[in-house]
Structure 1
Amino acid sequence: MVRQSEIEEVLNSLSKEELIRIISQVAEQDDAFKNGLLVKYVKGDHAQQIQSCKKLIDSIVKKYVGREGFIPYRETYGFATEMLKLLEDTNGAQDETLALEIALLVLAEGVAAYQYADDSDGDVGMLVEEALEQIREIAGSLDRQDVSAREIFFNRLLTMSKSGIFHGWEDYQTALFHICAEFADAENLREQLKASIENHIASNANNQYQKYSNEALLQILFQLIQDYGSKEEAGKFVQDHLHFTYFRDWAIRKSIEKRNYRRAIELAEEGEQQDRQLPGLISKWKAARYEAYKKLSLKQEQGQLAKELLLGGDYAYYHDLESLFEGDKEEFYRGIIAELRKSENWRARGVYLKLISDKNDLEEMMAYVRANPSAIEEYAPRLSADYREETEQIYSDHIYNAAGASSNRKEYQRVCAMLKRYKKIAGQASQSEILLQLKTQYNRRPAFLDELAKIK
């Protein structure tokens, strides 16, 4: 392979005419290369430079989409890299308006690329985020005293936010509104932004799928009220939007900060009723209610709710619940274990396993392994001392079952890995016995025999 220094030596030895001929030849064969040169080195007016950028973007897309009109997985990184190069070449440009237009072109093409590129590795997402970040940086670099430039910039962003390219990609539209909020110190721009967001929310009023997008937009409006409105306005806004998770959570936190714990409980209970079909939110509101009970030292209510949360799958409440129990701690533990064991909730099963592990409850671990032999590998190191014979029997049966279900080299390797771990529990002699049995039983599986032969 020719080193870069050797290429530079060759190029340095050529005449200007020869270099021009070589570059022209490459440019004729590669539209993206040609348009990249024009963007970087030809300085016309805004319209000409923007047109050059459009041609470059089109040539990059054309280079990668192929005949099928789609960029395959292996080509997406190259596409994103070339688009990012265009952003980098304009980063730090003296003319913020031109830099903005180019960043918006890249943003638009990046969002559009979700429809014609395989973004399994997130390269297109990275491209879009980089374009948004550059727009943020340009917005932050504007002179606050230059009212005219800021207004032009703001209006361009607001216009872009209304583009149909964001249909289905509302998070990026919201990101543009967030950047627009950087200009909200100017009252006229602030009012324009509020009107635009409110119109957008109103247009989504009957669309359930836009609920989360609307919630994000409402947060921007709320921030504007907090920054430029009164406390009364902010309070009313929150009260009017308690059906959104963000605002109910905000109201609960503020109530707790102000030590108005009764109000926090009321808000949490309303949330539980409102979101009764959403287990994740139910747990969130119960946790908030629990915090308020704790602050008020309502131990009976606290204990009852802690148990609900624990049985619902939140292990963090076990120690609180244990400390609230005034009777025999062992009796309490056994009662909780019995309830967790019979629960069909997979989260409760996770609490059960963590609890018996933390308590090092070998009897319960052994009972669990008897019912779930595939768990033997996890628990064997702890169980082998007190339940040596039974542990080894379950472990060996597990290995035989895994071997019987194996049919390819990868699965054979997994069985052999089990055998190596089994040796640490049962010793060399027991491992050798299983090895001999497997070699005899599966003597017509050469790949399996090959893997077994590697075990020392």
Structure 2
Amino acid sequence: MSKQPSIEKILNKLTKDELKGILLELAKQDEHLRNALLLQYGEGNNEQRLASYSKLIQSTVRRYSDRDGFIPYRETHRFTIEMLELLENFNAANDERLELEAALMILAEAIEAFQYADDSNGDIGILVDSALERIFMLTCSLNKQDLALQQYYMNRLLAVSRSGIFQGWDEFQIALFRICSKLSEMEELREQLKAAIELQIDASATQTYGAYTQEALLMILYELIEAYGTGEEAELFIANHLLFPAFRALQISRRMESGDYTAVIELAKEGEQQDKGFPGLVIKWKNARYEAYKQRNLKKEQWLLAKELLLTGDYKYYQELESLNEEDELVFYRSMLAELKKAKGWGVREIYLKLISDKNDVEEMMSYVRSSPSSIESYAARLMDRYPEEVEQIYREFIDQLAETSSNRKDYKRVCKVIRQYGKTVGKDKQAAVIDKFTTRYARRPAFIDELENLL
């Protein structure tokens, strides 16, 4: 039987007109192919090329959409890959304006895609970030001497920022403003950007999470002042915006560097009061206050604050307290242990467990295991030498309870994993005894028996 010729050989035998006919027929049947050919080989002006690019983007969307216009989960990744190829492979013949417009088209479509595509894996977010990265690279590569081109970029980017495509996506709008800041060397453009940002700050004042947007936008304004203004202007701007955590942190950092620890303490205390509804921020300000106390050698204040921070769950402050302690080390350890055991909260319990582990306090570990038998897995190996019989008994009772409450293959695997570790700790003979007991007791659970046999 003769071998069928390859497509390449067949096409090589066809005339130009025959090949043209095939392409025309395919283009009629495939909208996406037709748009790709028009973009790649068309000889129109910039407006016509962008129109072809837009059509290619839309045909790509339709290519992956279902009847309802939605791109399902299984298609989102391939859609994103194809859109990224359109972004990366657009040939603008070194026309910076055309390149920007093409990237802005992809950006707008990518943001809209959040509404019509399943973004469970974050693919659409990657597409948006890639479009912004492309715009950033184009902006940074502009000829600094071409003021008209820089003005064009600023005008277009600010126009897009006002267009409404970022509604509900403030972080992407902020990213666009940051790109604009790369065009701020010329005062006229800088003032244009500042005015746009100030308008957006006012607009975000009524939004639910507007404070976060305002803070990010104000930080861009501050960076412009720092780069092009005076030190006094930068200092005043920070002082006027201490309600925002980023600016308070910035001021604390500046005061810490200058050695003005009294100011750091006051700034931190004000922050603790101002942000008392936000535990993470309060701890941040207390950390700063502690460092200022340490720099000023205020040991009493250090001690009180270190103990407070330790009880909120920050283990490093135990070491700070140790360094401040002037009494017997063991007495100090026992007193801190008592305080930790009285205090409540998950974070405090973790501090307690880390402390007894670091100090290798087997007596305290054993006490904890008695009150929390499920922790036996973590401590058995360290307790075995001193409490062999009790450890073995608690471990065995824990395994019995675990087996009783098991009802599926996943549970059985978990029980057998514990049995294996039990055997390593207390001995293979005791492990075998548990397996024998369970083989009889759970004979009517074939999946469990199967897992137990894997231990043999």
Query: Shorter-chain TM-score: which interval?
Result: over 0.9
Mean CA deviation greater in 10-19 or 285-294 = 10-19
Q: Is the 8 A contact 1:103 1:134 kept in 2?
A: yes
* Partner of residue 176, structure 1: 176
Q: Is the 8 A contact 1:299 1:324 kept in 2?
A: yes
- Which amino acid letter does the alignment assign opposite residue 260 of structure 1? D
* Partner of residue 404, structure 2: 404
List aligned pairs for 1:198-237, cutoff 5 A.
Answer: 198-237=198-237
Shift of 1:39: 2.2
* Partner of residue 106, structure 1: 106
* Partner of residue 130, structure 1: 130
- Which amino acid letter does the alignment assign opposite residue 426 of structure 2? A
Q: Is the 8 A contact 1:439 1:449 kept in 2?
A: yes
List aligned pairs for 1:137-176, cutoff 5 A.
Answer: 137-176=137-176
Q: Structure 2 vs 1, CA of residues 102 and 385 (structure 1 numbering), >3 Å: closer, same or farther? A: same
Shift of 1:57: 1.2
Is 1:53 matched up with 2:56?
no
- Percent sequence identity is 53
List aligned pairs for 1:176-325, cutoff 5 A.
Answer: 176-325=176-325
Q: Is the 8 A contact 2:204 2:213 kept in 1?
A: no
* Partner of residue 3, structure 1: none
- Which amino acid letter does the alignment assign opposite residue 108 of structure 2? A
Alpha-carbon distance in 1 for matches of 2:41, 2:368: 72
Deviations 1:289-342 (A, max 9, x none): 001001100011011111111111111111111110100111111111222222
Deviations 1:78-117 (A, max 9, x none): 0100100101112785011111111111111111111121
Q: Secondary structure at the match of 2:115?
A: coil
- Which amino acid letter does the alignment assign opposite residue 362 of structure 2? L
Q: Structure 2 vs 1, CA of residues 390 and 135 (structure 1 numbering), >3 Å: closer, same or farther? A: same
Alpha-carbon distance in 1 for matches of 2:373, 2:389: 14
Q: Secondary structure at the match of 1:166?
A: coil
Q: Secondary structure at the match of 1:314?
A: coil
Alpha-carbon distance in 1 for matches of 2:16, 2:384: 81
Q: Structure 2 vs 1, CA of residues 208 and 237 (structure 1 numbering), >3 Å: closer, same or farther? A: farther
Deviations 1:210-234 (A, max 9, x none): 1101100000000111111111111
Q: Structure 2 vs 1, CA of residues 261 and 13 (structure 1 numbering), >3 Å: closer, same or farther? A: farther
Q: Is the 8 A contact 2:92 2:98 kept in 1?
A: no
Q: Is the 8 A contact 1:341 1:352 kept in 2?
A: yes
Q: Secondary structure at the match of 1:114?
A: helix
Shift of 1:68: 3.1
- Which amino acid letter does the alignment assign opposite residue 181 of structure 2? A
Q: Structure 2 vs 1, CA of residues 449 and 8 (structure 1 numbering), >3 Å: closer, same or farther? A: farther
Q: Structure 2 vs 1, CA of residues 320 and 414 (structure 1 numbering), >3 Å: closer, same or farther? A: same
Alpha-carbon distance in 2 for matches of 1:165, 1:108: 7
Q: Is the 8 A contact 1:40 1:89 kept in 2?
A: no
* Partner of residue 353, structure 1: 353
Q: Is the 8 A contact 1:311 1:340 kept in 2?
A: yes
**How many pairs align?**
451
- Which amino acid letter does the alignment assign opposite residue 71 of structure 2? I
* Partner of residue 44, structure 1: 44
Residue ranges of structure 1 left out of the alignment (5+ in a row): 1-5
Alpha-carbon distance in 1 for matches of 2:91, 2:313: 49
Q: Is the 8 A contact 2:70 2:116 kept in 1?
A: yes
- Which amino acid letter does the alignment assign opposite residue 385 of structure 1? D
Residue ranges of structure 2 left out of the alignment (5+ in a row): 1-5
Shift of 1:118: 1.5
Alpha-carbon distance in 2 for matches of 1:393, 1:412: 21
Q: Structure 2 vs 1, CA of residues 419 and 189 (structure 1 numbering), >3 Å: closer, same or farther? A: same
Is 1:364 matched up with 2:395?
no
Q: Structure 2 vs 1, CA of residues 191 and 455 (structure 1 numbering), >3 Å: closer, same or farther? A: same
* Partner of residue 62, structure 1: 62
Mean CA deviation greater in 153-162 or 85-94 = 85-94
* Partner of residue 88, structure 2: 88
Alpha-carbon distance in 2 for matches of 1:301, 1:329: 21
Alpha-carbon distance in 2 for matches of 1:159, 1:209: 23
Mean CA deviation greater in 51-60 or 150-159 = 51-60
Is 1:338 matched up with 2:338?
yes
Alpha-carbon distance in 2 for matches of 1:223, 1:149: 23
Alpha-carbon distance in 2 for matches of 1:308, 1:34: 69
Q: Secondary structure at the match of 2:165?
A: helix
Q: Is the 8 A contact 1:35 1:52 kept in 2?
A: yes
Alpha-carbon distance in 2 for matches of 1:14, 1:430: 81
* Partner of residue 450, structure 2: 450
- Which amino acid letter does the alignment assign opposite residue 372 of structure 2? N
Q: Secondary structure at the match of 1:113?
A: helix
Q: Structure 2 vs 1, CA of residues 174 and 10 (structure 1 numbering), >3 Å: closer, same or farther? A: farther
Mean CA deviation greater in 149-158 or 227-236 = 227-236
Q: Structure 2 vs 1, CA of residues 37 and 378 (structure 1 numbering), >3 Å: closer, same or farther? A: farther
Alpha-carbon distance in 1 for matches of 2:12, 2:443: 68
Alpha-carbon distance in 1 for matches of 2:365, 2:41: 72
Q: Secondary structure at the match of 2:185?
A: coil
* Partner of residue 3, structure 2: none
Q: Structure 2 vs 1, CA of residues 328 and 51 (structure 1 numbering), >3 Å: closer, same or farther? A: same
Shift of 1:32: 2.6
Is 1:440 matched up with 2:448?
no
Q: Structure 2 vs 1, CA of residues 92 and 335 (structure 1 numbering), >3 Å: closer, same or farther? A: farther
Deviations 1:40-65 (A, max 9, x none): 23232111111111111111111112
Q: Structure 2 vs 1, CA of residues 129 and 238 (structure 1 numbering), >3 Å: closer, same or farther? A: same
Deviations 1:194-222 (A, max 9, x none): 11111111122233411101100000000
Q: Structure 2 vs 1, CA of residues 95 and 383 (structure 1 numbering), >3 Å: closer, same or farther? A: same
